């Protein structure tokens, strides 16, 4: 449905395209100008102001943003690409939307700190330490198909670690359907994490369980019980085969659950949201030499290794966003050679084609415009 704001914006954009108005119709320049008047203003970009923050665990924070009117909202389970400027360098990363999709005027991202060597820029850590209340970031439209189906069935949400972030949005949406009488089944959330202190949204979910009897929360704390096998986890939900299942967590956890669902012939009932690439064996792969035209560098990519980490190991710093092939930030032109897509298994040998470094592994020596 077209709102008055959308109609005015469309009209303004059409008028501004007139050559008589140049350089006033330079959208980038106008966005720049609007941004200097109010950082949230833009003709084309979703800009969002940090309006609140809440520590969820010692290493996880929820950041609440107030987007401008170009934000079209999201479906529970979707993610967004955030663009930030850190020391003059533009970075993009992908985060799940963890808030209630019914609240269009604000949205929340829940971000876990990255441990280890901080020589390189961790955007997550910068969001923890560098982003201040009132700061403005740029957001993409929401995307992804880790969403609720139209038809209702009992639901099983399986998460580990920060994989619980999209589950919170899904629970909000299911709760609303239940309140509206369009979802009458029950929901089981099984969540694996180190201990209670490490359990993101622990108090909030406990409160939700108290007020919504159709929700059951099973928390598995690895500090006291060790890592669970999938079979052990599923003892808590013997009717799992009759449920629609949503899965999000570390790659190995997801691989184990996925294998279980596949072996049980239930793959069609399983929806997945990956924060990282799924481990994949590339049959017959061999290491390859990668020649970079612009940087005049030569590096070796290991057998079955994605080009992005191989390039990073060689000291190159290609821009990236998601590292799983969804945001296209690491697009690069391949001049020659054959690559295999680590998600689809497709091979391509076209000269001068665009490839995504994060999901492409070499199948021959390559020449890149890098």
Ligand X SMILES: Cc1cc2nc3c(=O)[nH]c(=O)nc-3n(C[C@H](O)[C@H](O)[C@H](O)COP(=O)(O)OP(=O)(O)OC[C@H]3O[C@@H](n4cnc5c(N)ncnc54)[C@H](O)[C@@H]3O)c2cc1C
Q: 125 or 336: whose CB is closer to ligand X?
A: 125
- Which residue pairs from 26-31 have beta carbons closer than 8 angstroms and sit at least 24 positions apart in sequence? none
Q: 112 or 334: whose CB is closer to ligand X?
A: 112
97 burial via Cβ count (<10 Å: 0-12, 13-18, 19+): buried
Integer Cα distance of 219 and 206 in angstroms: 11
CB of 224 to ligand X, least distance (A): 24
CB of 316 to ligand X, least distance (A): 9
Minimal CB distance residue for ligand X? 124
Q: 4 or 88: whose CB is closer to ligand X?
A: 88
Integer Cα distance of 316 and 321 in angstroms: 15
Structure tokens at 213: 């009897």
**CA distances (Å), origin 240, targets 41, 111, 161, 189:** 47, 29, 21, 11
CB of 175 to ligand X, least distance (A): 20
CB of 33 to ligand X, least distance (A): 30
Integer Cα distance of 167 and 76 in angstroms: 8
Which phi and psi angles does 151 have, rounded to 5°?
A: -80, 145
123 burial via Cβ count (<10 Å: 0-12, 13-18, 19+): buried
CB of 181 to ligand X, least distance (A): 30
CB of 90 to ligand X, least distance (A): 13
Q: Which residues sit at the interface with ligand X, rule CB under 6 A?
A: 79, 93-96, 110-112, 114, 120, 122-125, 162, 165, 273, 275, 309, 312, 322-324
| Secondary structure (DSSP) of 155-167 | EEEEEEGGGGHHH
Q: 68 or 122: whose CB is closer to ligand X?
A: 122
CB of 125 to ligand X, least distance (A): 6
- 8: number of Cβ within 10 Å: 10
Q: 42 or 162: whose CB is closer to ligand X?
A: 162
CB 351 within 8 A of CB 368: no
CB 275 within 8 A of CB 79: no
CB of 293 to ligand X, least distance (A): 21
Q: 110 or 245: whose CB is closer to ligand X?
A: 110
CB of 139 to ligand X, least distance (A): 13
Contacts of 88 (CB under 8 A, 6+ apart): none
Structure tokens at 288: 């390859």
Q: 240 or 320: whose CB is closer to ligand X?
A: 320
Integer Cα distance of 42 and 93 in angstroms: 21
Q: 145 or 239: whose CB is closer to ligand X?
A: 145
Q: 192 or 234: whose CB is closer to ligand X?
A: 192
DSSP label at residue 19: G
Integer Cα distance of 23 and 30 in angstroms: 9
Q: In the block, which residue shows the tokens 């100008």?
A: 33
């Amino acid at each position: 449905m077209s709102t008055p704001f959308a109609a005015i914006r469309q009209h303004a954009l059409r008028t501004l395209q007139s050559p008589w108005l140049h350089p006033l119709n330079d959208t980038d320049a106008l966005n720049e100008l609007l941004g200097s008047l109010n950082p949230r203003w833009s003709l084309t970009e979703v800009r969002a102001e940090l309006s609140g923050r809440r520590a969820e665990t010692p290493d996880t924070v929820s950041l609440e943003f107030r987007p401008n009117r170009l934000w079209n909202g999201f479906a529970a389970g979707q993610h967004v690409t955030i663009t930030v400027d850190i020391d003059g360098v533009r970075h993009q990363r992908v985060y799940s939307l963890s808030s209630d999709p019914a609240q269009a005027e604000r949205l929340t991202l829940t971000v876990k700190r990255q441990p280890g060597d901080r020589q390189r820029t961790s955007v997550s850590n910068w969001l923890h330490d560098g982003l201040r209340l009132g700061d403005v970031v740029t957001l993409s439209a929401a995307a992804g198909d880790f969403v609720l189906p139209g038809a209702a069935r009992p639901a099983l949400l399986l998460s580990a670690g920060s994989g619980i972030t999209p589950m919170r949005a899904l629970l909000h949406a299911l709760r609303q359907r239940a309140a509206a009488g369009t979802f009458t089944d029950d929901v089981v959330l099984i969540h694996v994490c180190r201990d209670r202190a490490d359990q993101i949204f622990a108090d909030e979910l406990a409160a939700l369980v108290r007020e919504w009897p159709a929700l059951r929360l099973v928390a598995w704390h690895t500090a006291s019980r060790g890592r669970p096998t999938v079979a052990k986890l599923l003892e808590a939900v013997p009717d799992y085969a009759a449920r629609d299942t949503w899965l999000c967590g570390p790659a190995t956890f997801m691989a184990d659950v996925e294998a279980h669902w596949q072996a049980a012939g239930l793959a069609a009932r399983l929806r997945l949201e990956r924060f990282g690439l799924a481990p994949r064996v590339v049959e017959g792969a061999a290491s390859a030499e990668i020649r970079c035209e612009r940087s005049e560098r030569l590096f070796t990519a290991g057998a079955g290794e994605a080009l992005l980490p191989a390039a990073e190991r060689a000291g190159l710093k290609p821009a990236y966003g998601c590292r799983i092939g969804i945001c296209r930030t690491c697009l690069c032109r391949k001049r020659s050679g054959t690559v295999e897509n680590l998600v689809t298994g497709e091979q391509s040998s076209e000269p001068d084609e665009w490839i995504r470094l994060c999901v492409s592994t070499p199948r021959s020596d390559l020449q890149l415009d890098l």
